[in-house]
Chain A
Amino acid sequence: QKEVEQDPGPLSVPEGAIVSLNCTYSNSAFQYFMWYRQYSRKGPELLMYTYSSGNKEDGRFTAQVDKSSKYISLFIRDSQPSDSATYLCAMSRGGFKTIFGAGTRLFVKA
């Protein structure tokens, strides 16, 4: 069993839709939770970072962490074609070994 599970998609939505992306994990020691966005043939870039449980909002993006369920989510409001990318969840216990999910491909249609 992988430490971090993420539905690979693809997920296709119309422009303006609310997008929900999710990951589950098995290791309760994870304390830091990240979402990275990766455009085709580019490197991942950090979108959001959350410590422990709770919500964090940044513009159209909201990250949620539920440590009791070992479940994290990223919500994108008013989705745009420019949001079309692969979204990677990532987690860390502290230290240098960040664990990544396999990524969900998102397509936002104009």
Chain B
Amino acid sequence: NAGVTQTPKFQVLKTGQSMTLQCAQDMNHNSMYWYRQDPGMGLRLIYYSASEGTTDKGEVPNGYNVSRLNKREFSLRLESAAPSQTSVYFCASSSRGGANTGELFFGEGSRLTVL
């Protein structure tokens, strides 16, 4: 049972390059999320998808786009990477009830460095 799977696990980009982080969950969850984690800042919500076909901005959406491809998959795109986007990115998913109560299931993270 894989849970939440993220790819790639590591990536190094140059400033201005673009890339897409992929996320898939096999728990039949309705809601999916992208967070970034930086030292001293905790986890900050970038975007979320309450259900298939919907996406909404979180706390730090600037410089990112997302696509909810289907119920299982939620991707995060950096169109023109900046050094400030160097971070560890986590995808998460939750059931309907879990979305309300904050019970999230996380992937193992994608470490992105922008030079």
Contact = CB atoms under 8 A, between A and B. Distances in A.
Nearest to B109: A43
Interface in A36-61: 41-46, 49, 51
Contacts of A90: 43, 102
A-side interface size class: 20 to 34
Contact of B100 (A4, A44, A94): A94
B48 interface: yes
Interface in B91-106: 92, 99-106
Nearest to B9: A41
A96 B4 contact: no
A97 B108 CA distance: 20
Nearest to B91: A43
Interface in A8-25: 8
A88 to B, nearest CB: 7
Interface of A: 4, 6, 8, 32, 34, 41-46, 49, 51, 88, 90-92, 94-98, 100-103
